[in-house]
């Protein structure tokens, strides 16, 4: 009997509101998809907002009551067991600084935040 392969239904929405760094949205989309695959997630919607220090500070203040700058925030918005839903905010301004300090690309630093 042939083995059945389940189709994946993965939607990744990326929004870049910080234009001071060259960021490949395609590379980041591949990272998100790969992470979901590692956890055998077949159906999911992931929204990734690429933000700066001020925006991440506002989000921290609004949702966590912290007036701090962080590298990322993540929210699991899953309501149904069969479909996952996540919102991520990743700090490109911090990623650019850290990537320069560590000698790698900004996308590589953002990939660390996503994983």
**Lowest mean pLDDT across 1-5, 70-74, 80-84, 106-110:** 1-5
Q: Which of 18-32, 55-69, 86-100 has the lowest mean pLDDT?
A: 18-32
Relative to beta strand 72-76, strand 84-91 is: antiparallel
Which domains, and CATH codes, for the chain?
A: 9-114 (3.40.390.30)
pLDDT beyond 70 at 42 = yes
Indicate if the pLDDT at residue 11 is higher than 90.
yes
Bigger pLDDT: 23 vs 61: 61
pLDDT value of position 80: 81
Of the listed ranges 16-20, 92-96, 111-115, the least confidently predicted one is 16-20
């Amino acid at each position: 009997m042939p083995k059945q392969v389940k189709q994946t239904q993965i939607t990744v929405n990326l929004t870049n509101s910080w234009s001071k760094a060259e960021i490949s949205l395609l590379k980041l989309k591949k990272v998100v998809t790969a992470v979901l695959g590692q956890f055998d997630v077949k159906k999911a919607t992931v929204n990734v907002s690429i933000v700066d220090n001020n925006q991440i500070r506002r989000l921290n203040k609004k949702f966590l009551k912290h007036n701090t700058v962080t590298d990322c925030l993540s929210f699991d918005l899953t309501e149904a067991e069969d479909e996952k839903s996540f919102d991520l905010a990743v700090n490109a301004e911090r990623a650019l600084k850290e990537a320069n300090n560590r000698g790698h690309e900004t996308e590589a630093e953002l990939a660390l935040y996503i994983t």
